[in-house]
Chains A and B, each alone.
Chain A
Amino acid sequence: SQKIEQNSEALNIQEGKTATLTCNYTNYSPAYLQWYRQDPGRGPVFLLLIRENEKEKRKERLKVTFDTTLKQSLFHITASQPADSATYLCALDPPGRRALTFGSGTRLQVQP
């Protein structure tokens, strides 16, 4: 079955720096890969979606890359702010299915 690993449980960075989060998966490549933000006690909130034929996607301070050869996605937050502190979830959209499979998340803490 599909396995998804997010690089670390927690990541601490200073305000203004770029946060880079990693998502690795095994087995088949998904048609789409998505990133969500989850705050404590709340539901996941969609951030970005990238398709298997796209190398990079940007939205304001967020950037996602997708390398199907390495089976990896990188999620970057530039000019990070304390308000970016949250857990970030990688989710796969496998081909032929309609249900997302989530990684365990990386908890980002941005220090002022």
Chain B
Amino acid sequence: EPEVTQTPSHQVTQMGQEVILRCVPISNHLYFYWYRQILGQKVEFLVSFYNNEISEKSEIFDDQFSVERPDGSNFTLKIRSTKLEDSAMYFCASRFDGRENTEAFFGQGTRLTVV
């Protein structure tokens, strides 16, 4: 069964450092997403990406964040200068193979810890 893969599974970084979280979405999907989940809180939408550009972003997704699809398979989230409050699980997801609304497939997440 196709799946979304994320690397690394854990990342510890110092405050102010840049991090890049990587994802390989399902190959025939058209929309890609990043969500985050702070420990004990709800899954929050960050950004959606379609046709090689951002289609929607939330208030959380400020100038510190960027996304990129550098090749035909990878989808990355970059945080330029990490803050303590960026510590969370980051989930990548993909959906829509061209049919009507379908479920989202989530990766297993990257646990980011900013110290």
Contacts and interface: CB of A to CB of B under 8 A. Distances in A.
Contacts of B41: 104
Interface class of chain B by DSSP:
strand
Interface in A7-40: 31-32, 34, 38
B75 interface: no
A83 interface: no
A98 B50 contact: yes
A100 B101 CA distance: 11
B108 A34 contact: no
Contact of A31 (B48, B101, B104, B111): B101
Interface size class of A (residues with CB under 8 A): 20 to 34
A98 B91 contact: no
Interface stretch (A42-50, A63-71, A74-82): A42-50
A102 B42 CA distance: 7
Contacts, number: 56
B92 to A, nearest CB: 8
A85 interface: no
A89 interface: yes
Contact of B91 (A31, A43, A49): A43
Contacts of A99: 33, 45, 48, 56
Interface string B40-58: 0111110010100001100
Contacts of A38: 43
Contact of A43 (B31, B50, B102, B109): B109
Interface of B: 4, 31, 33, 35, 41-45, 48, 50, 55-56, 89, 91, 93, 95-96, 101-109, 111
